Structure 1
Amino acid sequence: MRIVVVNNFFPPRVGGSAHMAASLAQSYAREGHDVLVVTAAYGQAPRSEERDGYRIVRLPAAKMPKLGWSIDFDLSFTAPVPGNRRRLYRLLHEFQPDVLHLHGQFFDLSWLAGAYARKQRIPVLLTVHTLLVSDNPAYSALFRLLDAAVVRPILRRINPRYVLLDKLGVDYCARRYGVTARNSERLPIPVDTEHLDHTPIRDVRAENGIGDGPLIVSLGHVIPLRDRIPLVEALPEILARHPRTKVLVVGRVYHDAFLRRAEELGVREALVVTGAVPRQDVPSYFAAADIVTHDLNGGCGTASLEAMASGTATIASVAEDNYPGIDLCDGENILLVPPDDASAVASTVVGLLDDPQRRAGIARRQSGLVRGSFALGVVAKEHLRILEGLCSSTTSAATASVPRS
């Protein structure tokens, strides 16, 4: 197959959807398929390059201006740049794809590529990564309006087959976009376990002056949906029991309410904030940690699953039926707390720090769960099965539409 992978986010930009798109593109290429990645320009990354058996083209992009809102993110859009639609269509026409795999339902590259696919009758697979939700009533109303007035009509025209990564996504897409079991697939988040098996290359504790006390690593961008406030509010109780505990927050800080809350509670000195780190350094942070947690507002995303696969005890806040077909069992192969429950976070952390043997056992079982059910090789094969099915269906439909002589 000739597969085009489309995502506004792609390495060297860090983030769950970026790394997922890159991992799947590499897997498709390894299986012998021709793969083209189309993404938005980012930093000093080359406009075009060959890597891991596939080609990457980065279209000129405009960065979203900083408006001083709590939803100010480092986003790049290609549609505002004159000539980009023509560039994209020419690129796709030259590549002659059999199928498109779009990542992100509300990004302009997905919309532009989806419009091309619709005109050319090319099948489309769309993975939904981020949900437009917020605890802020004003933002929540704005997001519902955007979904209803803009995103849903565009998706109806593109008419993709959806990949939904968890129960939260299933419920959200049914409610916001009218997605059903008939036009969607439930697949787990693919985790590149080979990447996590690399020997740690950084002495994270020494570099950040942490010493040998208990260390909680909280890895992932700080946004309103992952605001770290439950962890900060748990710290007074944690520090009362384990006063040398440090929390290492790794990722870009787009929402700094957790720092203000730490100041109010008098626990700011327990926090070390690094900013974003290169992907190759991530195993070093997991190896340095006693506990990893950042999905405490509801969820268990890529960073949490990678931490679990690495063999570090990881706390998240999802339901046990979050991943269809995968059995999560609190205290056995995962550590679960209710969303936004600082008291539950505190008791879980203290219990893990008090009992290193239990902590090691849970970490081992968590690793087995992810490596058995979320491993990239397993999940990529399922994606390819779906893509091949889409291509076969399109070919059959085209053949059936040709009048017999």
Structure 2
Amino acid sequence: MRIVVVNNFFPPRVGGSAHMSASLAEQFAAAGHEVLAVTAAYEDAPAEEEKDGYRVVRLPAMKMPQLGLSIDFDMTFASVKPGNWRTLRKLLDEFKPDAIHLHGQFFDLSWLVGRYARKRRIPILLTIHTLLISDKKLYSAVFRFLDAALVRPIMRYLKPRYVILDKLGVDYCVKRYKTSDANSEYFPIAVDTAHFDKPLTLDVRADNEIAADAPLIVSLGHIIPLRNRLPLVEAMPAILEKHPGTKVVVVGRVYHDAFLKRAEELGVKDAFVVKGAVPKADVPSYFDAADIVTHDLNGGCGTASLEAMLSGTATIASAALDNYPGIELRNGENVLFVEPDNSAQVAESVIGLLDDPAKRAALAKAESTMVRENFGLDVVADEHLRTFEKLIADAPKRS
């Protein structure tokens, strides 16, 4: 098969959807398929390169100003650059794709490539990574309007087969885009197990002057309002009372700094070390150094939390036990979940794990096994490839 993978977010940009789309592209190529990745330009990344067995093309793009919204990443859009549509059409005409894999429902490259595919009757698989939601009434209303007025009509035109990663996504897509079992696949987030079998790249404790026996919490992932770290900050006074000297290393771009202001108000700011974004290669080192990993405390269990579980470090998140359709999660056994935004439960869970190293080790082992068996990149990629094959077989013949 000739497969086009499309995502405005793509390495060297860091982030869950970027890593997942790149990892799947690599896996498709390793399985013997011809793969083209189309993305937006990012910093000094080359406009074109061959990597991991597939070709990457980055189109010129404009960076959107940050407006303080809940999904306020450093977004780049390619459709505003003159000539990109002609370049993209020529690129795709030359590649002659059999199937298209779009990542993200509200990115312009998804719309452009989707339009190309629709006109040529090429099957489209669309993975929903980010939900347009906010706990702020104004932003929530704006997002609902954008979904209803813009995204849903485009999806209705593209007629993709959806890949939905978790229960929250299922509920969201049914409500916003009228999805159903008839047009959806329920695949979990893909985790690259091989990445965590590589040698560690750095000594996190030594680099940050953290004693070998000091309790260490790592919180990895971009800091945005939807993952604001406030439950962890507000749990810290109780944690420090029971385990003085506990440190929290926060890894990820800081787009929303309310957690730092709250830490200062509570007198716990000295417990936090903010590292910013780090290379993907260094992520296993941060997990390995930690006693506990947690960042999904506002509701959810994303790529970073699953990677932490895989790595063999006890991990706390805040998803529902039926979060992944078809995957059995048992709280306190193969996962440890708390209620969203519940700092008291965060404190209780962290203290309980720090108090009982044997319990912490048993949880870490069970979490790692659960992720490897259900979320492994090879397992999830095979599901995608079977879906591509079926979509191609069922697609109307092209004239």
Same fold (TM over 0.5): yes
Partner deviation per Cα, 1:166-195 (whole Å, 9 max, x = no partner): 000000000001111100000011100100
Kept after mapping to 1: 8 A contact 2:162/2:183: yes
Q: Which amino acid aligns with 1:151?
A: V
Partner deviation per Cα, 1:190-233 (whole Å, 9 max, x = no partner): 10010011121101111112223100000000011100000000
Distance in 2 separating the partners of 1:301 and 1:40: 23
Kept after mapping to 1: 8 A contact 2:72/2:224: no
Q: Which amino acid aligns with 1:23?
A: S
Kept after mapping to 2: 8 A contact 1:219/1:250: yes
Q: Residues 9-88 of structure 1 correspond to what in structure 2 (within 5 A)?
A: 9-67=9-67, 71-88=71-88
SS at match of 1:339: coil
**Structure 2 equivalent of residue 379 of structure 1:** 380
Kept after mapping to 2: 8 A contact 1:318/1:337: yes
Give how far 1:377 is off: 0.5
Give how far 1:65 is off: 1.7
Task: Indicate yes or no: 2:186 matched with 1:186.
Answer: yes
Task: Indicate yes or no: 2:96 matched with 1:96.
Answer: yes
SS at match of 2:281: helix
CA spacing shift, 1:68–1:227, aligned 2, 3 Å: closer
Kept after mapping to 2: 8 A contact 1:70/1:254: no
**Structure 2 equivalent of residue 341 of structure 1:** 342
Give how far 1:66 is off: 3.3
SS at match of 1:222: coil
**Structure 1 equivalent of residue 116 of structure 2:** 116
Q: Which amino acid aligns with 1:3?
A: I
Give how far 1:70 is off: 6.2
SS at match of 1:336: coil
Partner deviation per Cα, 1:335-381 (whole Å, 9 max, x = no partner): 01000000000000000000001000000000000001110001100
Give how far 1:72 is off: 3.6
**Structure 2 equivalent of residue 313 of structure 1:** 314
Kept after mapping to 1: 8 A contact 2:10/2:18: yes
Task: Indicate yes or no: 2:279 matched with 1:284.
Answer: no
Partner deviation per Cα, 1:131-190 (whole Å, 9 max, x = no partner): 011111111111111100000001111110000000000000000011111000000111
Q: Residues 1-400 of structure 1 correspond to what in structure 2 (within 5 A)?
A: 1-67=1-67, 71-212=71-212, 213-394=214-395, 397-398=396-397
Q: Which amino acid aligns with 1:371?
A: R
Distance in 2 separating the partners of 1:72 and 1:317: 22
Identity %: 68
Distance in 1 separating the partners of 2:320 and 2:136: 23
CA spacing shift, 1:149–1:94, aligned 2, 3 Å: same
Q: Which amino acid aligns with 2:152?
A: R
Structure 1: unaligned runs, 5 residues or longer: none
Q: Which amino acid aligns with 1:308?
A: M
Kept after mapping to 1: 8 A contact 2:71/2:132: no
Kept after mapping to 2: 8 A contact 1:4/1:101: yes
Q: Which amino acid aligns with 1:32?
A: G
Partner deviation per Cα, 1:305-346 (whole Å, 9 max, x = no partner): 000000000000011111111100011000010000000000
SS at match of 1:5: strand
Kept after mapping to 2: 8 A contact 1:133/1:143: yes
Kept after mapping to 2: 8 A contact 1:161/1:184: yes
Q: Which amino acid aligns with 1:17?
A: S
Residue range with higher mean Cα deviation, 69-78 or 315-324: 69-78
Distance in 1 separating the partners of 2:138 and 2:14: 28
Kept after mapping to 1: 8 A contact 2:69/2:139: no
Distance in 2 separating the partners of 1:71 and 1:323: 22
Distance in 2 separating the partners of 1:197 and 1:244: 30
SS at match of 1:335: coil
Give how far 1:71 is off: 5.0
C-alpha root-mean-square deviation of aligned residues, in Å?
1.1
Distance in 2 separating the partners of 1:152 and 1:183: 14
Distance in 2 separating the partners of 1:14 and 1:71: 15
Distance in 2 separating the partners of 1:194 and 1:223: 29
Q: Which amino acid aligns with 1:398?
A: K
Structure 2: unaligned runs, 5 residues or longer: none
SS at match of 2:397: helix
Kept after mapping to 2: 8 A contact 1:70/1:255: no
Give how far 1:398 is off: 2.0
Distance in 2 separating the partners of 1:66 and 1:195: 32
If the length of structure 1 is used for normalisation, what is the TM-score?
0.97
